[in-house]
Amino acid sequence: MIDNVTGLVCVICGTAYPVEEAGYVCPDHGNEGILDVRYDYDLIGARISPESLREKRNPTMWRYKALLPVAPDAPVPPLTVGGTPTYDAPPLAEALGVGRVWVKDEGRQPTASLKDRASAMALVKARERGAEVVTTASTGNAAAALSGLSASVGQKNVIFVPETAPQAKIAQLLAYGSTVALVEGTYGDAFDLCMEAAEEFGWYNRNTGFNPYMTEGKKTAGLEILEQLDWEVPDAIFVSVGDGSIIGGVHKAVKDALALGWIDRAPRIYGIQSAGSDYLVQAFESGEDVLTKPPISADTVADSISADLPRDRIKAMAASVETDGAYLRVSDEEILAAVPSLARGSGVFAEPAGAAAYAGLVAAVETGLVGSEDRVVVLSTGSGLKDVASAMKAVADAGTKPMVVEPNLEALKNAMQERNQVPGTGTNKQGTR
Ligand SMILES: *Cc1c(COP(=O)(O)O)cnc(C)c1O
Ligand SMILES: [Zn+2]
């Protein structure tokens, strides 16, 4: 039995629905009426604390089960979801002139993006309901995540992705054995078709910014950041934003930890979007109400954050506004440049949407939003192996070329001399040229 949830509250009208009766959204507000899960923090505080967590051996997202909307004895998928490292990155801190930079590497998830946290939650909820089929639309990563997690428990699933999704993501879906619909259209088109099909066939619907439990799964990334920094709150967290569900999840983690007294202040949360998909930046700058602001036409190299109408925009806007953060836009060129910069300064190889968070940090330092004392976390949301074509473009744009050499030492020496690259001296001009 789920006894730690007090209700699900509509983000528009504030009506609370008991957990047993709540549908996906508020019936009075349709698909915009996203629900927010509310908890009994007294009960939870008696079950879990920073001290009890220190003793806990389970490194996965389920170490926070007492703080998730699932029954204490609910079975969870066997894949290791969560427990990703938060790396200290002194070279980045030095290059940027800020106090500390950490990079949380979500590329280390089972299907190589943060989306595994939400999809693992979806599987638990679907099985709680005895759903025969689960479904989602996705730009690619949520799909791969639902696909892989489903495979781990033998759950039937149907996946909708735009046909333009990167090959690696489509390969994952097909390898995991999902029923795959490549939609001839945008993510928005795939989303609408998936919603219709789920309704028509009675499938369990994992869609982002519709299923209220996805944010709760994603918040475990935020809880990990706080716990891995020993509850010493960072000054700022940088998150790339498409639908706005991840940033909403990070904010939820902060709100939970504040309510439980585990931290005493919130980090500033910065949402980063591509200039080609900047709905929330526009709204942040203009003060427009995201409930009525019409969709834009998104186009960006960072496919995972391409969204005409961010589905979770109400929670997403609150994340930055309520923590004194901001929404920032970065160009596709800056995003691509961030792929090798982040990789070279931290060892974390991110897909463009993951590196976008780092591009946002660079922009924030330039504009003075982040200062020399600030301790900053960059959430790297997905692996660079998800989109090798963009990575190759990024390194080419950065002027990085491999040496092509005949297989003899003389040829190698000549090639190295040509580029002024001497082994053992640490000189490597190709990165900065
Ligand atoms: C989904 C995704 C995002 C954006 O998350 P939203 O919840 O849609 O804002 C960012 N980066 C990667 C790698 C993703 O897969
Ligand atoms: Zn409502």
- Per-residue pLDDT of 155-207, as tens digits, reads 999 999 999 999 999 999 999 999 999 999 999 999 999 999 999 999 999 99
332 φ, ψ (degrees, to nearest 5): -60, -35
- Predicted TM-score (pTM) of the model is 0.95
- Tell me if 353 CB under 6 Å of ligand 1: yes
- Per-residue pLDDT of 221-250, as tens digits, reads 999 999 999 999 999 999 999 999 999 999
Residue 180 within any structural domain of the chain: no
CA of 418 to the centre of ligand 1 (A): 42
Residue 265 within any structural domain of the chain: yes
What is the residue with the minimal CA distance to atom 1 of ligand 1? 304
Beta strands in 166-313, from DSSP E residues, in sequence order: 179-183, 204-205, 236-240, 268-274
Exposed/middle/buried for residue 286 (C-beta within 10 Å: 0-12, 13-18, 19+): exposed
pLDDT for the residue numbered 280 = 98
Residues 264 and 260: their CA atoms lie apart, in Å, by 10
Q: Which two tokens stand for residue 360?
A: 């946002």
The pLDDT mean for the chain works out to 95
CATH code of 361's domain: 3.40.50.1100
Question: Which residues are registered as beta bridge partners of 36?
Answer: 9
Q: Which residues contact 354 (CB under 8 A, 6 or more apart)?
A: 106, 107, 113, 240, 304, 342, 379, 380, 381, 382, 383, 384
- Structurally, how many domains does the chain consist of? 1
- Tell me if 146 CB under 6 Å of ligand 1: no
Residues 251 and 48: their CA atoms lie apart, in Å, by 19
The DSSP result for 263-299, as a single string, is -SSPPEEEEEEETTS-HHHHHHHH---TTTPPP----
Residue 402 within any structural domain of the chain: no
Residue 37 within any structural domain of the chain: no
- Tell me if 325 CB under 6 Å of ligand 1: no
Band of residue 431 on the pLDDT scale cut at 50, 70, 90: very low
Residue 429 has pLDDT above 60, yes or no: no
**Given the CA of residue 209, which atom of ligand 1 is nearest to it?**
7
Using DSSP's 3-state secondary structure scheme, residue 83 falls into: coil
Residue 318 within any structural domain of the chain: yes
Closest among 377, 399, 412, 391 to 335, alpha carbons compared: 391
Its domain, for residue 292, covers 86-111+213-393
- Per-residue pLDDT of 333-386, as tens digits, reads 999 999 999 999 999 999 999 999 999 999 999 999 999 999 999 999 999 999
Q: Which residues surround ligand 2, an ion (CB under 5 A)?
A: 10, 12-13, 26, 28-29, 33
Residue 253 within any structural domain of the chain: yes
Band of residue 419 on the pLDDT scale cut at 50, 70, 90: confident
Residue 424 has pLDDT above 60, yes or no: no
Q: Which residues contact 411 (CB under 8 A, 6 or more apart)?
A: 405
